[in-house]
Structure 1
């Protein structure tokens, strides 16, 4: 079903000008090389960046980028950010404008994780990389000038899926309390690949069913939809969502992840988890690349407001800001 007529008119011109993405096992090395060769977006004025390699016993260290605004108080909140890319591509460097903007607007220390990509790093490798970074942020809070009682995790697409898995892992291990999971069109459920009656109005643009199958197959090291997939790989597989942190979740109505995301939000509310859900009509996966569109400005404002309420309770609402300059990696 062609859903072009359903696309938000402010998003349509950019969508139609995008070159087709070739994402196959054969093309993956070339796509990664092209992305690595692109210059990273600039940081907002007054935001610093530090590269840190988080040590792990018996394993390779995890690279993170630490962004902080000038004049950060000693008790700043902390946000662990996880980039997207379908578990196949992407890096924290590509998200540095976005994470730097969050650091600037929230007065927060933002730690962005360079987790191992698949298929080289299969589950639970990526979420364990993220957990190592979260533990480092928590355990070194004093050195980082972070208030360890105000920590959140967030990410977009595959990064949102990892953030949801990480929130489950943090709940179950009981070592790092979280005040928010911030999920931007998260990739939550491998069973979407094998759904017997797929939604005909989603998944035509940017992140397609074919890409989704490739991403999940690469992460799982096997076929998606099989029995026994861990909730630390696909958060929608968790049977019990009680005790998770308050949740912000947004997704577009044309996004392949629409139904799995809405279902996850429904289950969270039934488990007693305070949940804020936004579905944006006419928005496809990665729509925030159109930074001047009204839907992008709205989602940025609402998302930043949710982060502020969780990380800076009592400070009031976020001033209205333009979203220009923020980077988004799809998938």
Structure 2
């Protein structure tokens, strides 16, 4: 990362904090770090308040070991009163696997629900070191499975469940997506949204690397966090590939993926490599590398970079979800019916934005569908 520097707009945004009162020095004690991180993130909410009118409701889901996991649903009035089943987003907060909470992240989650008009289901997953891997991943998967099996209760479409995680939450989300693939969740996850995700415990930076000064999340914190989270999992080949998604032997079969990270983020290289692996294994992937930005840059809502990132995330959330999923699912069911029924659907399901030729289901624009298609 030599030669890199903060984006000028970001640098201007943090100037008021440079030289001011500093948070307590973080020690190697994980509980001390947790207290400090929770304090910092809570204070940061003063600069990024929640939008109005995003009601929250809480319910409980049993995890794999019978433990109660709290889930908080954030949904706008439009999402709550939808006459048709909506997509659903399962959200995992950041915090190095050992700190923060849904409550601390509630302004951020409310903004996501507000901006997307989609219901967000935030998982209060268990934290390390008290609950090392695979607890967080299993907690997340349990919520995904519950929503899929209880979709009518929540007025959601089980074929449109998206998993979204920030930082360590991105690692949990990616691990849960691998678990859903291998346990053959049906319908499969529709998409995963990974915001500067924490994916690889092997990431290392030399002690004398000058870019460390520009990092928000430092290498020493990364080592402490992974050690707390993995515990004995490093010796368990059944757990490790899910706890550390970058260690998975194959990424083939994962849902379409959105990944973003800044050039000054410790996770930059591991996220680039994960995106490259997804592409090599024929998984649809969208990747953004934000220049001059560190971990957690989106805590400053007045940045033009925040607006660009928000636009990209919202676009990724909704791309293909609304327009094609329901159309193709119903069309595939229709293919098992009579030819008369299929031909009767062609006008209903063709959309002007679709290619003006027969697609892989045998349907094109109504006037181009001929004979037995």
| Range of TM-score over shorter length | 0.7 to 0.9
Question: For residues 229 and 110 of structure 2, what CA distance do their matches in structure 1 show?
Answer: 28
> What is the match of residue 51 of structure 2?
44
Unaligned runs of 5+ in 2: 325-350, 353-373
Structure 1 13/168 Cα, relative in aligned 2: closer, same or farther at 3 Å?
A: same
Could you tell which deviates more after superposition, 96-105 or 24-33? Answer: 24-33
Deviations 1:268-318 (A, max 9, x none): 0000001100001100011111211121111111111111114323699xx
- 8 Å contact from structure 2 (residues 89, 118) kept in 1: yes
> What is the match of residue 8 of structure 1?
7
Question: For residues 252 and 199 of structure 2, what CA distance do their matches in structure 1 show?
Answer: 17
Candidates 217, 227, 238, aligned match of 2:227: 217
Shift of 1:11: 1.2
> What is the match of residue 68 of structure 2?
61
Candidates 180, 196, 202, aligned match of 1:191: 202
Larger Rg: 2
Shift of 1:101: 2.6
Shift of 1:24: 3.0
Question: For residues 113 and 47 of structure 1, what CA distance do their matches in structure 2 show?
Answer: 17
Question: With structure 2 as the length reference, what TM-score do the two structures score?
Answer: 0.76
2:123 counterpart of 1:113: yes
Query: Alignment partner of 1:27: what SS?
Result: helix
Question: For residues 316 and 95 of structure 2, what CA distance do their matches in structure 1 show?
Answer: 24
- 8 Å contact from structure 2 (residues 95, 168) kept in 1: yes
Question: For residues 29 and 102 of structure 1, what CA distance do their matches in structure 2 show?
Answer: 25
Candidates 22, 26, 33, aligned match of 1:22: 26
Unaligned runs of 5+ in 1: 317-331
Query: Alignment partner of 2:202: what SS?
Result: helix
Structure 1 190/227 Cα, relative in aligned 2: closer, same or farther at 3 Å?
A: farther
Structure 1 8/37 Cα, relative in aligned 2: closer, same or farther at 3 Å?
A: closer
Question: For residues 44 and 300 of structure 2, what CA distance do their matches in structure 1 show?
Answer: 19
- 8 Å contact from structure 1 (residues 85, 157) kept in 2: yes
Question: For residues 184 and 81 of structure 1, what CA distance do their matches in structure 2 show?
Answer: 11
Shift of 1:97: 2.4
Query: Alignment partner of 1:278: what SS?
Result: strand
Query: Alignment partner of 1:191: what SS?
Result: coil
Question: For residues 47 and 34 of structure 1, what CA distance do their matches in structure 2 show?
Answer: 24
- 8 Å contact from structure 2 (residues 34, 98) kept in 1: no
Specify which structure has the higher proportion of strand.
1
> What is the match of residue 179 of structure 1?
190
Question: For residues 2 and 278 of structure 2, what CA distance do their matches in structure 1 show?
Answer: 32
Could you tell which deviates more after superposition, 30-39 or 10-19? Answer: 30-39
2:285 counterpart of 1:272: no
Specify which structure has the higher proportion of helix.
2
Structure 1 23/89 Cα, relative in aligned 2: closer, same or farther at 3 Å?
A: farther
Question: For residues 53 and 39 of structure 1, what CA distance do their matches in structure 2 show?
Answer: 28
Q: Which has the higher contact order (CA 8 A, sep 6+)?
A: 1
Aligned length: 313
- 8 Å contact from structure 2 (residues 34, 99) kept in 1: no
Shift of 1:135: 1.2
Structure 1 230/223 Cα, relative in aligned 2: closer, same or farther at 3 Å?
A: closer
Structure 1 287/37 Cα, relative in aligned 2: closer, same or farther at 3 Å?
A: closer
Structure 1 90/272 Cα, relative in aligned 2: closer, same or farther at 3 Å?
A: same
Shift of 1:52: 1.3
CA RMSD of aligned residues (A): 2.9
